[in-house]
């Protein structure tokens, strides 16, 4: 497993405090999880994953914490997959690619300057979400295998 975002609990605590959020154990663990797993987890995924560390954890707390984080600009809830909220730690603006087959979400860097606009058609733009849908490289590979064998 990739441990890309291995950040110390102390740094996370400091970060939360700097954002005006009291760093409770639950909040620390949830943010740590989000930083470690950059695959846009759902509330349920987070809840399941933290169950081992925090046996008394309630799903309500996960909901509460994520909406607090959203308010404070720490995470963003994004384009819904299968009617459930997915969360993303805020970082450089990027697009998402969602596979129609395995429904995995990938991050796509956005180099294009289309997204520098502050106004479109008199509307004031504050956020941009770009989602590509299609078949991801993994599923393309499996599909090719099938094509060959059939």
Partner DNA sequence: GTATCTGCAAAACATTTGCAATTCT
Partner DNA sequence: AGAATTGCAAATGTTTTGCAGATAC
Where along the sequence are the contacts to a copy of itself (CB under 8 A)?
79-80, 83, 85, 97, 99-100, 106, 108, 112, 114, 120-137, 140
Residue 59 lies near DNA (rule: CB under 7 A): yes
In sequence order, what are the residues at sequence separation of 6 or more whose Cβ sits closer than 8 angstroms to the Cβ of residue 129?
78, 79, 95, 96
Of 37, 65, 74, 88, which one interacts with DNA (CB under 7 A)?
65
Q: Is 20 left (phi over 0), alpha (psi -120 to 50) or beta?
A: left
For a copy of itself, give the closer residue by CB, 8 or 116: 116
For the record, the structure tokens of 140 come out as: 């393309």
**In the Cβ-directed half-sphere of 63, how many Cα atoms lie within 13 Å?**
5
87-116 residues in contact with DNA (CB under 7 A) are none
Residue 70 lies near DNA (rule: CB under 7 A): no
For the record, the structure tokens of 3 come out as: 């441990």
Residue ranges binding DNA (CB under 7 A)? 21-22, 24-27, 42-44, 54, 56-61, 63-65, 67, 80, 83-85
């Amino acid at each position: 497993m990739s441990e890309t975002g291995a950040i110390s609990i102390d740094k996370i605590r400091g970060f939360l405090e700097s954002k005006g959020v009291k760093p409770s154990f639950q909040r620390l663990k949830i943010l740590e999880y989000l930083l470690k797993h950059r695959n846009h987890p759902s509330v349920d995924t987070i809840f399941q994953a933290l169950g081992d560390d925090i046996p008394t954890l309630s799903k309500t707390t996960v909901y509460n914490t994520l909406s607090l984080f959203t308010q404070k600009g720490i995470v963003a809830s994004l384009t819904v997959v299968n009617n459930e909220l997915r969360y993303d730690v805020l970082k450089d603006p990027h697009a998402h690619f969602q596979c129609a087959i395995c429904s995995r979400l990938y991050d796509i860097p956005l180099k294009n300057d289309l997204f520098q606009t502050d106004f479109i058609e008199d509307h004031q733009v504050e956020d941009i979400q770009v989602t590509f849908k299609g078949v991801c490289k993994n599923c393309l590979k499996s599909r090719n295998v099938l094509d060959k064998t059939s």
